[in-house]
Amino acid sequence: MNNRTFYNEVLTEHNLHPAHKHELADANMTCEGLNPSCGDDIWVHLDVDDNGIIQKGAFEGDGCAISQASADMMFDLIIGKTKEEALRLADLFLKMIKEGHLSDEEMEELEEAASLQDIAHMPARVKCAVLGWHTLKEMLTGEADQDNPQPVSTEND
């Protein structure tokens, strides 16, 4: 092992002990996200109140450490926020992974999730990192139809 890097304590802790990986009985929004090429499969659940505030959120599913930790960090950030704020954070995260950098202020907003910045340089793992965020975004922008649920896929990103 000569090149320790990426699997730092923050990531492994979120993977081994995710705070937000559980069922959510009172969810009023649910969406499945798939990484067909990896076999990763995630369910994102939200309980959003009448004012558009995300009261509760959780995820379930199977996937690698990067996908699981990234989703767990996402829920740390978005619970208690409005749908619009959550969407803005998702866009920031996706921009960070796509472009490889953000301003210092933007990085601060992402809190622990900013630690996943280096995935931008690991093309094989980008889909893992964005799976939860991508699914959240599709849900919040209404592209994932709640009445006719279909899994969203990262395949065409």
Partner 1 sequence: MGQSTIDVEAVRKEFPVINHTDLAYLDNSATVQKPQCVLDAVTHYYQTENANPFRGLYDLSVAATDAYEDARQKVADFIHAPKKQDIIFTRNASESLNLVAYSMGRYLKIGKGDEILVSIAEHHSNMLPWRMLAQETGATVRYLNCGKDGSLTADDLKAAMTPNTRIVAIAEVSNVLGRVWPIAEFAKICHEQGAIIVVDGAQSVPHTKVDVTAMDCDFFAFSGHKMYAPMGIGVLYGKSEWLNKMPPFMTGGETIDIVTTDRIVWAEVPHRFEAGTVNVGGAVGLAAAIDFMQELGLDQIEARELELTTYAMERLKAIPHVNIIGADEPENHHGIIAFSIDGVHPHDITTILSENHIAVRAGHHCAEPLHHYLGVPSTTRASLTFYNTREEIDRLADTVGQIRKEMGYDE
Interface with partner 1 by CB under 8 A: which residues? 1-7, 9, 12-13, 15-16, 37-39, 62-66, 122, 124-125, 128
Torsion of CA 128, 66, 76, 45, to 10 degrees: 50
Question: Smallest distance from the beta carbon of 116 to partner 1, in angstroms?
Answer: 13
Least spacing, CB of residue 14 vs partner 1, in Å: 10
Minimum CB separation of residue 147 from partner 1 in Å reads 30
- 76 vs 85 by CB, closer to partner 1: 76
CA dihedral 48, 53, 58, 62 (to 10 degrees): 90
Side chain identity at residue 115, one-letter code: S
What is the rounded CA–CA span in Å between residue 73 and residue 117? 13
Nearer to partner 1, 3 or 103 (CB): 3
Spatial neighbors of 110 by CB under 8 A, at least 6 apart, are 77, 89, 92, 93, 96, 102
Least Cβ distance, residue 31 to partner 1 (angstroms): 21
Residue 9 or 99 having the CB closest to partner 1? 9
| Residue placing its CB nearer to partner 1 in the complex, 17 or 148 | 17
Residue 149 beta carbon to partner 1: minimum distance, rounded to whole angstroms: 23
Which of residues 1 and 25 has its CB atom nearest to partner 1 in the complex? 1
Residues 6+ apart with CB under 8 A from 78: 54, 57, 85, 86, 89, 136
Spatial separation of the C-alpha atoms in residues 139 and 31, rounded to whole Å: 7
